[in-house]
Amino acid sequence: MKTNVKSTTKDNRRYFERKPELTRIFNDLEDWLNHCREHLLKFDPADLYKSRDYRDFAATKNSKQHQRPRLNTNTKQQQRA
C-alpha cells in the first residue's frame, strides 16, 4: 500500500492549525531544550511548565526586556562603611 506523502503532510498541517495549543507546547519544548543546552541544565520534557528552572526561564522569556542579574546588591551599605 502506497501512502501519499503530500496528503499526509497536509492533514498534519490542518490538525495543528485546529489545535494551536499543541504548536505552542512543541515550540515551548524546543525553546526549553535550547535553554537547557546553553545553561548546562538537565533537560527533562516532563519539567515543562512545572519546574522552578522552567518558570524562571519563562519569566525572563516573557518579560519585555532581558533583565541582567545583579552582581552586588549591597553597594550602598558598602559605600557607607
pLDDT of residue 6: 60
pLDDT of residue 33: 93
Summarised one tens digit per residue, pLDDT across range 47-80 is 889 999 989 888 888 775 555 666 666 655 555 6
pLDDT of residue 64: 57
pLDDT of 1 over the 60 cut: no
Higher-confidence residue of 10 and 57: namely 57
Q: Please state the three-class secondary structure of 45-70 as a single string.
A: HHHCCCCHHHHHHHHHHHCCCCCCCC
| Residue 28 DSSP SS3 | helix
pLDDT of residue 5: 56
Give the CB-side neighbour count of residue 78, counting CA atoms within 13 A: 4
